[in-house]
């Protein structure tokens, strides 16, 4: 039997009064989770753009770049946060560095795939029109690679939303703070709010990137039959 959205008893899954009484704490968790996610993905995207540019310019570097990115991705998140805590303490860097590192493999591979998917005849046509290499990349290749970039951003962002919660072990983490607080006190309500909040935030980011991709690539939309 349930009452008010939670199980009857002293420790329901969701105590609505908690949302009212601790709204400032919940709001802080929302803002911190969003900020950490956006910061990590933005920095990771800029780094990945640079690495992809190097890889496309010097093809022999693609193997080392993707290999190192894969190595970063395979490091367990808890181990990464724990190791960096011994170096930087409970600072923002301790939380941001692993989050950025986990985005690079996803982003750099999608960016590389996007530019490598541009048909050779399209590049040849652009060269035949007298476009400089830089202009060809900016006006011809990049628009065609955008769907791949958006796909990479969608995956990286949703993944990062989940990893941000783990950053609570180093003093940050948004909804992860609520989850860890609930675990420490065996109090289900903050755990429920943290878990549901993380899921909803991931779904929201995924929807926003889907809409952004549709807006930037109208030619990719399926026409009705």
pLDDT in tens, 114-152: 998 888 888 788 778 877 777 888 788 888 889 999 999
Both tokens of 207, joined, read: 């929807």
Sequence spans of domains, the chain: 23-215
Between 61 and 83, name the one with better pLDDT: 61
Confidence check: pLDDT of 12 > 50: yes
* pLDDT bracket for residue 79 (50, 70, 90): confident
Domain covering 23-215 assigned CATH 1.10.3720.10 in the classification: yes
Cβ atoms of 12 and 6 within 8 Å: the answer is yes
Task: For the chain, give the percent of residues with pLDDT over 90.
Answer: 43
- Average pLDDT over the chain reads 85
Q: Is 119 exposed, middle or buried (0-12, 13-18, 19+ CB in 10 A)?
A: exposed
Q: Is 88 exposed, middle or buried (0-12, 13-18, 19+ CB in 10 A)?
A: middle
Cβ atoms of 196 and 203 within 8 Å: the answer is no
Cβ atoms of 174 and 29 within 8 Å: the answer is yes
* Cα–Cα dist 118/124, whole Å: 11
Confidence check: pLDDT of 225 > 50: no
* Cα–Cα dist 98/113, whole Å: 24
């Amino acid at each position: 039997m349930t009452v008010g959205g939670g199980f009857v008893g002293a420790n329901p899954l969701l105590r609505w009064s908690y949302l009212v009484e601790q709204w400032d704490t919940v709001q802080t968790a929302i803002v911190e989770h969003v900020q950490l996610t956006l910061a990590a993905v933005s920095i990771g995207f800029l780094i990945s753009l640079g690495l992809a540019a190097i890889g496309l310019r010097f093809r022999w570097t693609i193997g080392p770049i993707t290999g190192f990115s894969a190595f970063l991705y395979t490091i367990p998140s808890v181990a990464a946060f724990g190791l960096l805590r011994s170096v930087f303490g409970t600072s923002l860097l301790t939380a941001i560095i692993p989050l950025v590192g986990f985005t690079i493999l996803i982003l750099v591979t999608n960016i590389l795939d996007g530019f490598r998917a541009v048909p050779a005849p399209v590049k040849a046509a652009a060269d035949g029109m007298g476009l400089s290499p830089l202009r060809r990349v900016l006006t011809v290749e990049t628009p065609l690679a955008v769907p791949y970039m958006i796909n990479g951003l969608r995956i990286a962002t949703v993944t990062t939303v989940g990893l941000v919660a783990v950053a609570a072990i180093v003093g940050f983490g948004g909804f992860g703070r609520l989850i860890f607080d609930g675990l420490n006190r065996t109090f289900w309500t903050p755990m429920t709010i943290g878990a549901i909040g993380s899921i909803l935030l991931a779904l929201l980011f995924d929807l926003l990137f889907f809409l952004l991709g549709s807006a930037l690539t109208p030619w990719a939309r399926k026409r009705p039959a």
